[in-house]
Amino acid sequence: VDRRHMAPGRRRGEDRSMAIHYAGPTPALAGEFYKNVRDGAAQRETLQHVVVAALTGRAFVVPAGHVARIVCHAGPQIVDVMIFNRHDPRERLWANQTLNREGICLSTFSRLWGSLPMFRPLMTIVEDTVKNVPSETTARHHCILGAHCNPRFWRWGLGTDDHPFAQRTNCFYNLLSAIEPFGLGREDVHDNLNLFQKIGILPNTGELVMEPSDALPGDHVDFYAELDVLMAFSLCPQGSGANPPTTPDQDPRPVTVEIQSTGIDPLPTDVEPV
């Protein structure tokens, strides 16, 4: 008797797969609406076109129904991104719940969820042109579990305080300097999206690994604002992610930020606070 054919569907591997559940219940995306926003890119009007210098931070107001396009015009560059409700900055990107809803790495039609008591999408990605080059660690781009580098991160990596990255040239201080003109401070710097960063997970240990970004010059990600938001960016000293944080020889580049009007009002976002 060939036992392999006796109990189809009841082998150990298949039993285990039956026990896998998606981590978090999530309302369905209004797919046609966002495809329409994406497909209307050629009709958008560019209201702002700003080149953000390498190793710096900057924040932009993105009105509801507008798109913020982040372009790696000069090649791959990791950008740390925070998002706030423009009118109530206590409502801000909730990285952990975005991870639970959308997965570890975001892409086209991922939603960026905000904090309680509203717990609603603040922005939705309508286009991501970065192509993931397959990797052994199944690494992908735009990771939502990495947070931002800071003086201690670089002190530990470089083994010294005597380097600009271990002082003020890092994502913490870039994000802080980006939001200070808007009346926000240290306590408002929150866990963030790592745009264009390629992150994988080692299956046997669960450790995170960074791989060089696959973004090409001109690759971009479009974020559609569900309400008036403030987006803050830091151009990370880690540059493309090609070098480990134990070396000071990084490859930082500028990026372009465009704010575009779409002429498409968002779907209703006024949920009851919990």
Residues that bind Zn ion (CB under 5 A): 149, 171, 236
Report the nearest approach of Zn ion to the CB of residue 153 (Å).
8
Q: Do residues 237 and 153 touch, judged by C-beta distance below 8 A?
A: no
Pick between residue 115 and residue 197 the one whose CB is nearest to Zn ion.
Answer: 197
Supply 119's token pair.
Answer: 């717990």
**β-strand partners of 210:** 199
Pick between residue 79 and residue 227 the one whose CB is nearest to Zn ion.
Answer: 79
Pick between residue 159 and residue 263 the one whose CB is nearest to Zn ion.
Answer: 159
Pick between residue 60 and residue 153 the one whose CB is nearest to Zn ion.
Answer: 153
Report the nearest approach of Zn ion to the CB of residue 204 (Å).
27
- C-alpha distances in angstroms, 34 versus 7, 8, 30, 173, 226? 44, 41, 7, 34, 11
Pick between residue 67 and residue 149 the one whose CB is nearest to Zn ion.
Answer: 149
Report the nearest approach of Zn ion to the CB of residue 8 (Å).
50
Question: What is the distance, to the nearest Å, from the Cα of residue 51 to the centroid of all Cα atoms in its chain?
Answer: 19
Q: Do residues 35 and 179 touch, judged by C-beta distance below 8 A?
A: no
Report the nearest approach of Zn ion to the CB of residue 165 (Å).
9
State whether the Cα torsion 97-188-47-65 is positive or negative. positive
137 CB-near residues (< 8 Å, 6+ apart): 200, 201, 202, 203, 209, 211
Pick between residue 94 and residue 153 the one whose CB is nearest to Zn ion.
Answer: 153
Report the nearest approach of Zn ion to the CB of residue 236 (Å).
3
Report the nearest approach of Zn ion to the CB of residue 272 (Å).
37
Cα angle for residues 161, 167, 169 (degrees, 5° grid)? 130
Report the nearest approach of Zn ion to the CB of residue 83 (Å).
17
Pick between residue 37 and residue 149 the one whose CB is nearest to Zn ion.
Answer: 149
**C-beta atoms surrounding 217 within 10 Å:** 11
